Structures are given as C-alpha cells and as structure tokens.
C-alpha cells in the first residue's frame, strides 16, 4: 500500500535564509558562497567546505553547531543527524512537522549545495577495492535525496554549473526561489544520485563477477543535446557513462561542427573496428558508412592503408567516417580530405595533419589518446519495448582462437594472414556478414542481409563495380579469401564465394551440414578454416 499524502499545497516562492554547503568538487564554491552571503543567506557547512568558505573571509557555522554533535569516524558521520534531516524533510506548513521542529530546536534549511565523492573517477583510476569503497558517498546522497523529496520547501544544487542560474533566480525573485525552479533542481538531483548508484552497483557486479545482477542500472551525464536523432523528427542527446575506454565519447574534438547522432554511432563503430589492428604490426584504416565498413586495410603507412581501403568501395566511402590505429600524419590527411568525409578519428594527429584537415571547416577531427582494447571485458545494452537486453562485449579476437583446418588443402601463409584479417573485419559487419580480403585489404563486403548467400553475392557485385571504376581487368575477389561471421547453413553461400574467385574460407563452423560444405570446398580445391566462434552483429 502506498504511503498516503497529506495534500498540503507547496508554496510558490520560498525565501532562502539558510544554506547548507557540503561539496567535494569546490569549483566556483567561494564565489557562490560570497554571493549567497551578500544576499543575506546564513551559511552552514562541513569539514573542508567550511574551511574553504572561512578561508575566503566569510562567516560560516559548522554543522556541528546545528547537531550538537561532532564529526566522527573520519568524517563518515557528520550530517546524518535529525537536526540536519529534520531541517531538510520537515513540511513547514504541516502543524505536526512544525511542532516537531520547534520542540527539537530544528532550524529549517532552505538551500542545500552538495556534490559527491568522486566514485566514478576513483574507479576509473584503477584504485584498490578498499579505496573504491571509501569513495562511496553516504551522507551526500542522503542529503540530496531528502532535499529533493522536500522540494516544496528546499532547493537542492548538485552541479557547480547551476550556481549562476541559482543566483540569477534569487535576484529575480528578491531572495526567493520558485516552485518550478525547485522542481527542476530536484529532478536533476535524483538523476545524479541514480547515476551515482548505477556506477556503484555496476562496479560491485564487476568486482564480484556477477554476470547478471538481479537489478541492473545504467547511468550517464548529458554531454550534448543534438539537433535530431537518426531522423529529423527524432530528438536525441548524447550521454557519457564515465567509462574510460578510448573512443568517440572520450575523444577531444580538434575541429569541425558538432557531431550528429549518426556521426557518433558510426564513429564508434569505426574506431572499435580499427582497434582490432595492432599499430605496432601495421598501419590500419577503416572507412565506415551507416555503421558498416565499406573498406578496411592494413599497410606500411596510413596513406597506403587508406588507398587500399578506399579502393574496396569508393562510392560508399563518400560522406563516411575514417578511423585509424596510428597518429594521423600529413601524408594520410592529404589523401583523406580529397574525398568528402564526415569524421576522422585517430589516437592523435600531428600539427601538420591537423592544419590540413582544418582547411575543411566542417570536417570533424577527433583524437582519443589511445585505442580501444578488443579483448577488454564490458557490457553493452540495447533497449526493447519494456526492457533492456544486456550482454558482455564481443571480445573474442581471432589471434587467440584455435583455428582448425577442415579441408584437404591447408591455407598458404599468405591466405592464412588474409583469413585472419577478414575475420577481424567480419566481427564488425552487420549480420549476415561476408568479407572478401586480399593482401591485407577488404575487396568486397556484404552486410545485413537475411540470406548469407545474398551477402556473398552483394560483396562480389561491389567488388566488380569497384574493379570497373578502377579500370581493372577483373575484380580483386579473384584470388581473395572470404570470411563469414557465422556458419554456412548450405553450400550455396560457399559456392557463390568460390564463383567470385575466393581460394580460402574462414567461418565458425557448427552447421548440421558442415560435411556438405567441407565436401564442396574440397571438390573445388578450396582451403577452409573453422574458428569455433561466431560474430553475429545485429
């Protein structure tokens, strides 16, 4: 049964006479406190916050004066007291509440300024278990939630970015804050504590290796409101989870206009793909369009890799995303800007390269400071009607797999290198996925089809189109290898790849008709390797 409400109407304007300030992040604190004091607001504070305010020459009451009780247990217990929470939760127009406050000498608090211990930052730093636990704030969330619940009388400020708007509202309302303003602050406060608790519960699940916790929470902080989502009639915002994984969310935008929803989605796909390629082994480029690769290649230099990647599908590359696994240099930048490109993302960029990109004012350049680890664990989620699907990140890497040759012919060393390359790319192609590769470059990609044989034919057709555009005598699929993200349920998909010119195949295996597919490969003298791992990507 729900807790009954007394239906006491909330006042519109509440004068701010007393404020409690207790913050970890002291950005803008002293200036804010000075402005409150100048407006006649009594300041109450705790610990380091009180010292900072007093150090600015302001009068401040220690919270222990309200509670009659000192801070104890290394500051763990200071605001968890009836004199504080009664001051925050008391319904001042309720006679019973007012009498309790009077009888127990509880002085009302009209404004609370509180932000939390930096749990998310400490977690990301790699600190030990005990340090992470010590940075779980208790008193802060309790005050924030109490104030937010009683927003009929109390304003709660959790973000230094809101200090200016609070001061402006106080000035506009002659020292009071409106109910509508207090509601908005309360909504933000509850969202903040929810995100904080989501980070804590997520860390515990990870630390205790609980794969599927009974309650699952995800949280994030708004980074930007976008003009629209996937389509102009859809609203969209970009939220940061606090995960330190290098990528579009953690990148520094060097130049270019604001990223769109589709830009962010595609750039994430591009950088995750290129992260599969070790920069110490070779340079690598991935060109992405609509979250699917239209060209991927390795090379001795980024310029060489870009040329090979672009040759796979130069038509689709127009307006695409370009990701690389090494520092963007001037030579590569000069080539990339010759084709209309939406975003370039790289671990870093030279000054010369950045200057070349700067000539294209709308071209976004992002630098991340590193590459995503394809082997790292993590959780990915997808919304469905009424719920969320959550799963572990696909962190299987072909170099770690036990590859099994199942045909009479064994792949040559060159074929095996291309097979591994193709399977790395197939992991990042929408299912059903078929990837043809030759000499460390994709030469045909088929994605997102309901039939695997259709993906194989589409990839071959794209290779034929690319060959005609480049005035080649035959498509580069001749003498290529082919990767499939999942098993061939019938031999027809394999036969289509053979017809396109593939000489070796890599696939997970596991079909009821594996023997038929192997027999077809042997009949045509094709080498085939099973990985035992599939890479569906829907």
Boundary-marking domain end, from 180, 208, 236: 208
pTM of the entire predicted model: 0.86
What CATH number is given to the structural domain containing 127? 3.40.50.1380
Q: Flag whether pLDDT at 474 surpasses 90.
A: no
Backbone dihedral region for residue 396 (phi beyond 0: left; psi -120 to 50: alpha; all else: beta) = beta
**According to the model, what pLDDT value does residue 3 have?**
74
Q: Taking a C-beta distance cutoff of 8 angstroms, is the pair 217, 191 a contact?
A: no
Q: Flag whether pLDDT at 62 surpasses 90.
A: no
Which one, of 239, 276, 512, lies nearest residue 372 by Cα? Answer: 276
420 noted as active-site residue: no
The span from the CA of 503 to the CA of 516, in Å, is 18
Residues 35 and 164 in one domain: yes
Which one, of 76, 27, 18, 23, lies nearest residue 49 by Cα? Answer: 23
Place of tokens 């019973």: 96
Residues 412 and 331 in one domain: no
**According to the model, what pLDDT value does residue 273 have?**
97
Boundary-marking domain end, from 208, 227, 257: 208
Residues 352 and 404 in one domain: no
Residues 471 and 515 in one domain: yes
Domain assignment present for 485:
yes
Residues 6+ apart with CB under 8 A from 6: 91, 94
**At CA 280, angle to CA 355 and CA 368, rounded to 5?**
45
Greater pLDDT, 491 or 416: 416
Domain assignment present for 144:
yes
**According to the model, what pLDDT value does residue 476 have?**
86
User: How many CB atoms sit inside 10 A of residue 441's CB?
Assistant: 28
Boundary-marking domain end, from 157, 191, 208: 208
Residues 526 and 438 in one domain: yes
Residues 408 and 342 in one domain: no
**Residue 269 pLDDT class (50, 70, 90 cuts):** very high
The span from the CA of 241 to the CA of 195, in Å, is 9
Instruction: Name the least confident of 78-82, 263-267, 290-294.
Output: 78-82
Residues 191 and 108 in one domain: yes
- SS3 label, residue 244: coil
Domain assignment present for 226:
no
Q: Spot the catalytic one: 149, 184, 188, 360.
A: 149
**Element spanning 381, H or E:** strand 379-384
Q: Using one digit for the tens of pLDDT, what is the confidence trace for 26-40?
A: 999 999 999 999 999
Q: Spot the catalytic one: 183, 188, 290, 478.
A: 290
Q: Taking a C-beta distance cutoff of 8 angstroms, is the pair 20, 112 a contact?
A: yes
**At CA 423, angle to CA 417 and CA 427, rounded to 5?**
150
Which one, of 442, 475, 476, 445, lies nearest residue 458 by Cα? Answer: 445
Instruction: Name the least confident of 85-94, 392-401, 440-449.
Output: 85-94
**Residue 451 pLDDT class (50, 70, 90 cuts):** confident
Q: Using one digit for the tens of pLDDT, what is the confidence trace for 93-151?
A: 888 988 888 999 889 999 999 999 999 899 888 899 999 999 999 989 999 999 999 99
Residues 55 and 190 in one domain: yes
The span from the CA of 437 to the CA of 99, in Å, is 80
Domain assignment present for 388:
no
**Residue 304 pLDDT class (50, 70, 90 cuts):** very high
The span from the CA of 318 to the CA of 462, in Å, is 15
Strands 42-45 and 18-22: parallel
Q: Taking a C-beta distance cutoff of 8 angstroms, is the pair 449, 458 a contact?
A: yes
Whole domain around residue 302: which residue ranges? 249-367
462 noted as active-site residue: no
First to last CA, the chain: 43
Domain assignment present for 500:
yes
Q: Using one digit for the tens of pLDDT, what is the confidence trace for 141-192?
A: 999 999 999 999 999 999 999 999 999 999 999 999 999 999 999 999 999 9
Q: Indicate the length of the chain as a whole number.
A: 538
Q: Taking a C-beta distance cutoff of 8 angstroms, is the pair 475, 444 a contact?
A: yes
Distance set, CA 19 to CA 45, 91, 132, 191 (Å): 8, 17, 30, 22
Rg of the chain's alpha carbons, rounded to an integer? 30
Give the count of domains, the chain: 3
Q: Flag whether pLDDT at 6 surpasses 80.
A: no
Q: Taking a C-beta distance cutoff of 8 angstroms, is the pair 332, 224 a contact?
A: no
Over residues 313-317, mean pLDDT: 91
Q: Flag whether pLDDT at 70 surpasses 80.
A: no
Residues 436 and 523 in one domain: yes
User: How many CB atoms sit inside 10 A of residue 40's CB?
Assistant: 10
Domain assignment present for 84:
yes
Residues 46 and 169 in one domain: yes
3-class SS string, 451-487: CHHHHHHHHHHHHHHHHHHCCCCCCCCCCCEEEECCC
Distance set, CA 418 to CA 335, 415, 538 (Å): 25, 5, 24
Burial of 319: CB neighbours in 10 Å, binned 0-12, 13-18, 19+: exposed
**According to the model, what pLDDT value does residue 481 have?**
95
Residues 52 and 194 in one domain: yes
Domain assignment present for 101:
yes
Q: Flag whether pLDDT at 67 surpasses 80.
A: no
What CATH number is given to the structural domain containing 467? 3.40.140.20
- The conformation of residue 255, written as its DSSP 8-state character, comes to E
Which tokens sit at 30? 């002293």
Residue 168: φ, ψ to 5°: -65, -45
Residues 506 and 439 in one domain: yes
Domain assignment present for 221:
no
What percent of the chain has a predicted confidence (pLDDT) above 90? 72
């Amino acid at each position: 049964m729900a807790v009954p409400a007394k239906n006491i109407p909330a006042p519109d304007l509440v004068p701010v006479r007393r404020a409690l300030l207790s913050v970890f992040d002291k950005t803008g604190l002293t200036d804010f406190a000075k402005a409150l004091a100048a407006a006649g607001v009594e300041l109450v504070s705790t610990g380091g916050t009180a010292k900072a305010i007093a150090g600015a020459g302001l009068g401040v009451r220690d919270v222990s004066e309200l509670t009659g009780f000192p801070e104890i247990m290394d500051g763990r217990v200071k605001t968890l007291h009836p004199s504080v929470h009664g001051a925050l939760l008391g319904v001042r127009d309720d006679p019973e509440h007012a009498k309790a406050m009077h009888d127990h000498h509880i002085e009302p608090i009209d404004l609370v300024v509180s932000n939390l211990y930096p749990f998310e930052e400490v977690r990301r730093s790699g600190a030990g278990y005990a340090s992470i636990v010590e940075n779980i704030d208790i008193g802060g969330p309790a005050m924030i939630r109490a104030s937010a619940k009683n927003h009929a009388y109390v304003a709660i400020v959790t973000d230094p970015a809101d200090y200016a708007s609070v001061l402006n509202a106080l000035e506009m309302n002659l020292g009071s804050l409106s109910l509508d303003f207090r509601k908005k602050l309360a909504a933000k406060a509850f969202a903040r504590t929810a995100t904080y608790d989501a980070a804590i519960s997520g860390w515990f699940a990870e630390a205790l290796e609980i794969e599927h916790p009974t309650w699952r929470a995800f949280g994030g902080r708004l980074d930007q409101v976008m003009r629209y989502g996937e389509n102009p009639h859809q609203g969209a915002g970009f939220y940061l989870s606090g995960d330190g994984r290098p990528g579009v969310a953690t990148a520094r935008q060097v130049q270019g206009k604001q990223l769109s929803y589709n830009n962010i989605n595609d750039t994430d796909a591009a950088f995750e793909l290129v992260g599969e390629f070790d920069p110490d082994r070779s340079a690598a480029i991935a060109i992405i369009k609509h979250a699917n690769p239209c060209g991927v290649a390795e090379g001795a230099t980024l310029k060489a890799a870009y040329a090979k990647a672009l040759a796979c599908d130069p038509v689709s590359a127009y307006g695409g995303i370009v990701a690389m696994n090494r520092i963007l240099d001037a030579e590569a930048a000069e080539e990339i800007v010759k084709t209309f490109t939406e975003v370039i993302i790289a671990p870093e960029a030279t000054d010369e390269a950045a200057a070349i990109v700067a000539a294209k004012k709308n071209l976004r350049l992002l630098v991340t400071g590193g590459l995503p680890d394809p082997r790292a664990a993590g959780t990915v989620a997808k919304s469905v009607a009424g719920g969320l699907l959550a799963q572990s990140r696909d962190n299987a890497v072909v170099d770690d797999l036990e590859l099994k040759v199942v045909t009479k012919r064994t792949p040559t060393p060159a074929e095996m290198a291309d097979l591994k390359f193709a399977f790395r790319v197939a992991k990042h192609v929408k299912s059903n996925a078929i990837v043809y590769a030759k000499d460390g470059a994709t030469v045909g990609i088929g994605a997102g089809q309901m039939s695997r044989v259709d993906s194989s034919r589409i990839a071959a057709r794209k290779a034929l189109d690319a060959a005609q555009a480049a005035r080649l005598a035959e498509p580069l699929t001749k003498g290529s290898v082919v990767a499939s993200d999942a098993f061939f349920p019938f031999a027809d998909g394999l036969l289509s790849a053979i017809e396109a010119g593939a000489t070796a195949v890599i696939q997970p295996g596991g079909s009821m008709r594996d023997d038929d597919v192997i027999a077809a490969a042997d009949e045509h003298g094709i080498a085939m390797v099973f990985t035992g791992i599939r890479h569906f990507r829907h």
